[in-house]
Structure 1
Amino acid sequence: MTTPYSTTTTRPEPATASPARFLLLGDSHAGPVGRAAKAAGIAFSGGPVGAGRDFNAGFFDLRGTDVAFRKPEADTYYRRFLDELGISGLGELTVPLVCTFGFSAHFVATTENWQIYRVGGGFAPGFLASRLFDDLVRATVRDALAFYEHARGLGLRVLAVMPPQRVPGLSDPDVFMAAQESVRRAVTALGVEVVDLRDRVTDASGRQRPELCEPNDVIHGNLAFGRLILADLLARGL
């Protein structure tokens, strides 16, 4: 699915005199973060490098201390971002890495994928909190987790941004909520800082409040949502 953010980047103009404060890598959910930083005059490098479904499994290879994205377009964006920072690989990064890989929970929660685990139209009691469910989710996003593990192994400060609390019609809401928790726990265990704004952006139903949603769109957060994420990042010292 092509989105306004998967086809454009949100990095500042190369001529900026301010040093970048972080490298932003991710799917379309990185778009509002980059837009907010640009609007606020916060220097950074990076932005979306593809769609969320591209960054769960089989999307990169290790190249020493660096990575190479398997999709040429993604790798082209990534190399451009590194050039802006004056480095040639991830291992040379001296600023924090902000990332959204693995957190497009609506892909993981595609209803059809979970039909085999339903009993009488619903899940068995405790299934969504079970070790089996957790293992299935982690297997689905295994290379996103491997990417975070590699970055942490390089000594990088890594911050992962949880997704907007929006569930499109093809996804199961209960699986969405449980799956993002599984990913959150997995990346936290790797030493990744998780930007989790759920208690600030949702209503009583647990869904994203309308004023923080991109209009005419069933998945993304808007600029206001990006500003909340940016504020959290800045409060963490970025």
Structure 2
Amino acid sequence: MSSTEPCRIACVGASVTFGRGLPNRREQCYPAVLQRLLDERYGAGGCEVRNFGYSGATAARVSNEPYWQTPSFTAATRFEPHFVPLMLGTNDAQFANVSARRTLARDLADLVEHFRGLGAEVLAADPPPAFPPVAEIDFDALRDEVRPTVRRVAVEIGAPLVDFFSPLEDARAGFPDGLHPTAEVAEKIAQIAFGALEPLVGRWLGR
């Protein structure tokens, strides 16, 4: 707990975190909305939220776009966050990543442990829904392999699991291309993240 520095929150993820498809992603992406919600709750300067989303990123290390090898991973590490909402997995369900999924559980756990090693508390995310047709995504693998793996890993390593799926599973119209949310849905994603983070941040800030 510290009163001399802001609570640093690193939003780690792929294109939904990055804000792909939004008219004004810098203001409408969920990390930006989360910053505003935390400012309203704790006052400006209490928290610093940064967006470390990287479009196409996976949790698996040997895939077509491993988060491990992105500039966002390097930047998030240098940020030395106190809290990390980690929203990866949808891209692990791409047809191109069928072999990479064999190590998904281990790689996801290692990614959580990487940020824990920096002193951060990591919140694992069951990612928002995706809706067919999306040519790259194996929806059976997303449902039967990836999501269960994320949930299982969270339990096994004791990471809080934030459910971004169930509250939005009927919001097909809010994902125009099947993957990326509208600004309205991005705000709902931020509200879910805020609900999970608020008590943790409040404890950290001593409020």
Shorter-chain TM-score tier: 0.5 to 0.7
1:25, 1:99 within 8 Å by CA — same for their partners in 2? yes
Are 1:195 and 2:162 matched, yes or no?
Answer: yes
Shift of 1:169: 3.0
Shift of 1:47: 0.9
With over 3 angstroms needed to count, the CA separation of the structure-2 counterparts of 1:45 and 1:235, relative to structure 1, is: closer
**Unaligned 5+ residue runs, structure 1?**
1-16, 61-68, 83-89, 115-134
Q: Which position in structure 2 is the counterpart of 1:108?
A: 92
With over 3 angstroms needed to count, the CA separation of the structure-2 counterparts of 1:227 and 1:189, relative to structure 1, is: same
Q: How much is the aligned-residue C-alpha RMSD, in angstroms?
A: 3.3
1:185-230 Cα distance to aligned partner (Å, 9 max, x none): 1132111111013332122xxxx4424x3x4x33123423323323
Q: 1:177 aligns with which of 136, 143, 148?
A: 143
Q: 1:219 aligns with which of 179, 203, 206?
A: 179
The alignment's TM-score, normalised by the length of structure 2, stands at 0.64
- Distance in 2, matches of 1:219 and 1:98, equals 19
Q: Which position in structure 2 is the counterpart of 1:44?
A: 48
Are 1:143 and 2:102 matched, yes or no?
Answer: no
1:28, 1:51 within 8 Å by CA — same for their partners in 2? yes
Shift of 1:76: 5.7
- Distance in 2, matches of 1:228 and 1:136, equals 32
With over 3 angstroms needed to count, the CA separation of the structure-2 counterparts of 1:19 and 1:198, relative to structure 1, is: same
Q: Which position in structure 1 is the counterpart of 2:129?
A: 165
**Unaligned 5+ residue runs, structure 2?**
19-28, 40-46, 202-207
1:57, 1:141 within 8 Å by CA — same for their partners in 2? no
Shift of 1:181: 1.4
Larger Rg: 1
More helix by share: 2
Shift of 1:155: 5.4
1:96-141 Cα distance to aligned partner (Å, 9 max, x none): 22222xx232x33234666xxxxxxxxxxxxxxxxxxxx9735146
Amino acid at match of 2:123: L
The alignment's TM-score, normalised by the length of structure 1, stands at 0.57
